[in-house]
Structure 1
């Protein structure tokens, strides 16, 4: 596929997501479905818990208050995540996980594996919970995802208060779905599609079928998830039964900036497509 064809496909995906995002009502009712509810479980990941930065620990602790409301809290490191994948999905998926060359890629792939098998809510370790009610996010079995919009001309993110308004658009904007949070029941079809696609890409690394390390976001992260959402939704006319777009996730949690790890190789943006050397 030529560069122009790749750009055209990206634009089509962006426009599809734009229409989906801007057609989502500001207030929503849960779909009545008592089967396969999403378990009240918060899952997080940090690759080396023995070297967990204090500021990241402070972010993680903000979610502890949900335990008093009946939520289970789970924190995985790289080793425990790999053990989970091997036990629940087998060697094929564990080998794919082992090809993840950066902790951010490990967390991207692990969350797909975990949510597909067990269901729940995966949240990044640098998200700070503000105490808002989240019970409504677990009352039906739809996948819940947060939309994002990036302005390539200014190299900056667009505020949801702007890009979610019907008709808001610029040729410089790229609409996509974040993989944080990732809220779904087990065996969700969109998560299954994202996991399958990511596994195939990681298997290509293992088989030495690619010359350079793949881009982190497009392999198992937001790029992969966005494409998977579109692949599944284009097959159905009942989008509202599969997905709920969270246009106001920032009212529940916010990614903390700055944090100490963002200034070194642990920040995936500084290590994208590069062999990662962990800090000693």
Structure 2
């Protein structure tokens, strides 16, 4: 299912309106594996989000130890065991964000994202799962410009369409987050599983979960309970010139297990 096809399910059919009882909690959650050792350049990225706190958004920050304690308190033993199988800080961050957003809802952003604009305000007025669509062009080995994703006639040849797992905004208990967590756990707890990060806990996992959910909604002729954030690039963007990206703290620099 393409982003275009998924987007067509976002409009309620026959005047139906999705349940708006649960809006997205006014919480910003972020993660760095060792909160006592945050690089200065990452700390500057984190500090760029201070305007949200000034406007009453609650900040939650987790590392490996606090994430382990949170999962142990809120979830069952297999969930904690799956977290322990995450072999890289990025993987543990992937896994934890699913747990937190499922349990409490809110807005998750990566620690190396920099705030640019005020579009985050609209997030906390919504009641759906909000995710950012992306596309990778294999012919040029680069990302498709975000503005192009609005084009209904966007060519699909040599392009991989997916949704990012950063940002994730959602009310608690969203079925896509439950599906994504269950899917990740299934792979993590199978000892013979290839624990490649992107497909196990990252964007690949979330994309597969969302696509399956969207298909079920379409078959049932139900309105979508998710929305593509086509303008998120104007709100925030990752900062790529960071020291940690040059070593094994960057998941792209390690081999799959």
| Common fold by TM > 0.5 | yes
1:142–1:243 Cα contact (<8 Å) kept: yes
Out of 207, 216, 220, which is 2:197 matched to? 216
Out of 154, 171, 179, which is 1:193 matched to? 179
Q: Which residue of structure 2 lines up, in the alignment, with residue 39 of structure 1?
A: 25
Q: Distance in 2 between matches of 1:241 and 1:36?
A: 15
Give every structure 1 segment of 4 or more consecutive aligned residues whose post-TM-superposition deviation is greater than 6 Å.
Answer: 22-25
Q: Which residue of structure 1 lines up, in the alignment, with residue 256 of structure 2?
A: 273
TM-score (normalised: structure 1): 0.84
2:135–2:162 Cα contact (<8 Å) kept: yes
2:117–2:235 Cα contact (<8 Å) kept: yes
Assess, with a 3 A threshold, how the Cα gap between structure 1 residues 180 and 161 changes in structure 2: closer, same or farther: same
Q: Does 1:249 align with 2:249?
A: no
SS of the residue 2:54 aligns to: helix
CA RMSD, aligned part only?
1.9
What are structure 1's unaligned runs of at least 5 residues? Answer: 1-12, 26-30, 275-280
SS of the residue 1:258 aligns to: coil
Q: Which residue of structure 1 lines up, in the alignment, with residue 134 of structure 2?
A: 148
Q: Which residue of structure 2 lines up, in the alignment, with residue 5 of structure 1?
A: none
1:176–1:222 Cα contact (<8 Å) kept: yes
TM-score (normalised: structure 2): 0.91
2:6–2:211 Cα contact (<8 Å) kept: no
Q: Which residue of structure 2 lines up, in the alignment, with residue 262 of structure 1?
A: 245
Out of 63, 80, 88, which is 1:77 matched to? 63
1:96–1:203 Cα contact (<8 Å) kept: yes
Q: Does 1:123 align with 2:106?
A: no
**What is the aligned length?**
250
Q: Which residue of structure 1 lines up, in the alignment, with residue 148 of structure 2?
A: 162
